[in-house]
């Protein structure tokens, strides 16, 4: 795996513009090469301005008809509820695009967690036409960073960090909407590109632990993100990068 690429932007606004630019570039490359762009969204609050930019200023920069939308994790809540990662992306991006229903592969937050995990795993196997032991290879997985250094819904010291025989797991975590469904580390590490989008002073310590802290992946799950054949890009604003020196 190549060293993570760090890009530090002056402020949050510049961060979101750069994130949208990077996504548009990666999408164009994937559509030219593969005929489609398999785009795995992150949840949380951070990416919302990026999604809004993709739907507005960058609307004509991507051939949206060739984009397949997925999620890295989901809270086990209905899709129209406050905490839904699908709901946030739908409001900020998907609802503003003219998409076919078959382009959107959401995790069914309204279903029982294990059932939602199994059906999402089956959907991944179908969409990527996977052989039994194969992993999906997303063109791009977006990730946020929890202030406890979690990624997706893979939290510190959680057994799910070490699951290698599933693509998708149901977890219970100490966070709002504690019951969640998440991609596993092997799937994240099979992506062609992983892009972190991290903003704000409140994430500076987590960024330092992830990138400069002692090697301790159980304590700092973001340290597990190391695609064997892919690229990791950290898009940070200056506030989030403050402790990197």
Q: Counting contacts by CB under 6 A, is residue 227 touching ligand 6PG? A: no
> What is the total count of residues that contact ligand 6PG (CB under 6 A)?
16
Q: How far is CA 222 from CA 3, 168, 186, in A?
A: 14, 17, 13
Q: Which is nearer to ligand 6PG, 42 or 68 (CB)?
A: 42
The tokens 């992830």 sit on which residue? 210
We find the least distance from the C-beta atom of residue 93 to ligand 6PG, in angstroms, to be 15
* Residues of span 32-71 touching ligand 6PG by CB under 6 A: 42-46
- Does 144 bind ligand 6PG (CB under 6 A)? Our answer is yes
Which residues 90-119 are close enough to bind ligand 6PG by CB under 6 A? none
Tell the smallest beta-carbon distance from residue 41 to ligand 6PG (Å).
Answer: 9
Q: Tell me which of 38, 50, 85, 190 binds ligand 6PG, using CB under 6 A.
A: 85
Closest residue to ligand 6PG, based on beta-carbon distance: 144
Question: Between 45 and 56, whose beta carbon lies closer to ligand 6PG?
Answer: 45
Binding to ligand 6PG (CB under 6 A) within 146-205 occurs at 146, 150-153
106-121 burial, b if ≥16 CB within 10 A, otherwise e?
Answer: bbbbebebeebbbebb
Q: Measured from the CB atom, is 43 or 230 closer to ligand 6PG?
A: 43
C-beta of 67 vs 77, nearer to ligand 6PG: 77
Q: Residue 26 or residue 76: which is nearer to ligand 6PG going by CB?
A: 76
Shortest reach from residue 99's CB to ligand 6PG, in Å? 21
The answer to whether 71 and 127 are in contact (CB under 8 A) is no
Residue closer to ligand 6PG by CB (options 67, 149) is 149
Residues near ligand 6PG (CB under 6 A) are 42-46, 72-73, 75, 85, 144-146, 150-153
């Amino acid at each position: 795996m190549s060293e993570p690429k760090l890009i530090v932007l002056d402020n949050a606004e510049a961060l979101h513009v750069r994130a949208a630019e990077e996504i548009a570039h990666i999408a164009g490359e994937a559509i030219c090469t593969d005929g489609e762009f398999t785009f795995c969204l992150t949840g949380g609050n951070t990416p919302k301005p990026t999604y809004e930019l993709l739907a507005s200023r960058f609307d004509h920069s991507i051939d949206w008809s060739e984009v397949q939308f997925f999620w890295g994790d989901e809270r086990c809540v209905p899709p129209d509820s406050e905490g839904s990662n699908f709901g946030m992306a739908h409001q900020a991006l998907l609802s503003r695009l003219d998409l076919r229903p078959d382009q959107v592969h959401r995790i069914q937050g309204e279903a029982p967690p294990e059932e939602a995990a199994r059906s999402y795993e089956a959907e991944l196997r179908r969409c990527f036409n996977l052989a039994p032991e194969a992993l999906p290879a997303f063109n791009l997985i977006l990730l946020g960073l929890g202030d406890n250094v979690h990624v997706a819904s893979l939290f510190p010291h959680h057994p799910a960090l070490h699951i290698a025989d599933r693509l998708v797991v149901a977890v219970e975590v100490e966070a709002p909407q504690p019951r969640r469904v998440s991609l596993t580390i092997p799937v994240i590490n099979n992506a062609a590109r992983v892009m972190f989008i991290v903003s704000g002073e409140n994430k500076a310590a987590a960024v330092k632990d992830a990138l400069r802290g002692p090697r301790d992946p159980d304590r700092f799950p973001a340290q597990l993100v190391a695609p064997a054949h892919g690229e990791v890009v950290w898009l940070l604003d200056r506030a989030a990068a403050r402790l990197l020196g």
